[in-house]
Structure formats: C-alpha cells, structure tokens
Amino acid sequence: MPLKDLLIALVVIVAWGVNFVVIKVGLDGLPPMLLGALRFLLVAFPAILLVKRPKLPWRWLIAYGATISLGQFAFLFQAMYSGMPPGLASLILQSQAFFTLGFAALFLGERLRLASVLGLLVAASGLALIGSEDGGHVPVLALVLTLCAGAMWGMGNIITRRFGSVDLVALVIWGGLIPPLPFLALSWWLEGPERIGHALANIGWSSVLALAYLAFVATMLGYSLWSKLLSRHPAGKVAPFSLLVPVIGLSSSALLLGECLTATQGWGALLVMAGLLVNVFGARIGQRLRAVSA
C-alpha cells in the first residue's frame, strides 16, 4: 500500500479512535438519545440534497439505518452514559466481528473457521475478566449494552452484504435519514420533554463541537476516506487496520480523560485484542504453517 494510502488509513483510525472520547464529551452535555438524534440529523441534512440516494430499495436502507446507525449507537451511547469508559468501549465494540461471524453462520449458512472459534473463545475470556472484577468501574449493564451495540453492528454487516457494490458514503448519509425520528421518540420516552428542553436551552460549545466531530469527522470524513481505501485495495488489506481503532481509543482516553484500567481489566483487554488478532490472521498463519510443514 502506498505511503499516501497508509496516511489516509491512519487519519481514519485516529478519527474513529478519538471518536469515543468525543462521545463522552457529548454525553456530558446531552442525554444519550438526544445526542443520537442530533448526530444523525447533521449526518443526513443537508447532505442528502447533494448526494444521490444509493441504488437500493427503501427496505434495505431502513434495515441498514435501523441496525448500524440507530441500534448500534442507541446501545453504545446508553452504555457510555451508564458508565462504560470510552477506551474499553472502543475495544468491546469490536465484538461486532464475532457477532458478524455468528449471524453469517445462522442466516447465510456460512461455515465457522477454526481460527474464528478460537478467537471468539479468547476474546470471550477477556470480556469475562473485564466484567467479573469486584469493585471495578465497569457496570455489568454498561458491558451488556456495549455488547448489544456490537451485535447491532454485526447484524448491520450481514444486511450490508446483501447490497453488493454500493457507494459507502451515500449509504451512510441516506442511512442517517432513518435514525433521527426513532432517536427523538426514545429521547421523549426515556429522557422526557423537560430534560430535552433543558439540554437544548443550555447546550454549550463542547457539546456543539462534539456533535460536529461525530457527524462530520467520525462519520462523513471517516467513511469517505475508508470508502476510498476500499476502492483502491482489497478488503483483506484494508480491514485489518480497524484493529488499531481500540488502540487509539484506549490511548486517547488515557491521555485526554485519565482513564486507567485496573490490572484485571488490562489483562481482559489484551485477551480481547488477542482474540481479534486470531480471528483476522489465524487462518493465514495456519495456512503458512501447513505449507512450511509440507
């Protein structure tokens, strides 16, 4: 991969990794469902006036928006509001890789590879460590909600496979048209009109800048550049870069928010990362070992 494309990949990874710190900043001023509604309003408008709708039936756009956009971020924002630290959120959300494999086996009849099963077992042991520590600062509810966010992302990946070749940027923008009203309904129900009004009346610059980052940097810029990389290189070369997102997420959270993992959580995080690495690279390593032994 040329140096220029490596730098583009680095920009995307940093944008997506720091995204979790920015979510935390946004949640300090806005309740989670309202934050989701405003984020996707900014993603969809006015961009849908400038970008053509992808050549997909509305039912698929709705399915994409309901899983990748609404479901994933409703659970993630609520998880972080309920006490999930940003750095750990960036790591645990990568459980989407295993949910994708499970859903593909369940709904598409794909066979699970041995490396994927081993990676899942290693990552699951790490999650168990993170969630089992007495007196830890990760509430069980927050951990479960983050896993639900990963599951929604995984389901969205299965839906996206049905699309074939599609303009990723247009998909994100037009898929962003789906979540605002459901997010507002959830906000009205869970957070109440008084809290919504108070948050909007007292919105500060930190919340405004967080919204701008989430909508324009993490979403539109990030997916635009990622789409460019996918158009130039095989997915197998581009996808592994996403493993660096939790590295940036953990590092930026420690640097900017002072997030410190306990020893048990640190070992759990290493196991989750190891499981992801086994899932991505295990089959290749196995093939090379068999070739060498032959």
Cα-Cα-Cα-Cα torsion 25, 140, 103, 277, nearest 10 degrees, comes to 70
38 in Cβ contact with 184 (< 8 Å):
no
Give tens-digit pLDDT for 188-229.
Answer: 999 999 999 999 999 999 999 999 999 999 999 999 998 888
Which ranges constitute the DSSP H helices of 47-192?
58-64, 72-81, 86-92, 96-107, 114-132, 140-161, 168-175, 180-190
130 in Cβ contact with 184 (< 8 Å):
no
Regions of the chain with pLDDT less than 70 = 133-136, 235-236, 283, 286, 289-294
What pLDDT score was predicted for residue 133?
65
- And the tokens for 237? 């070369």
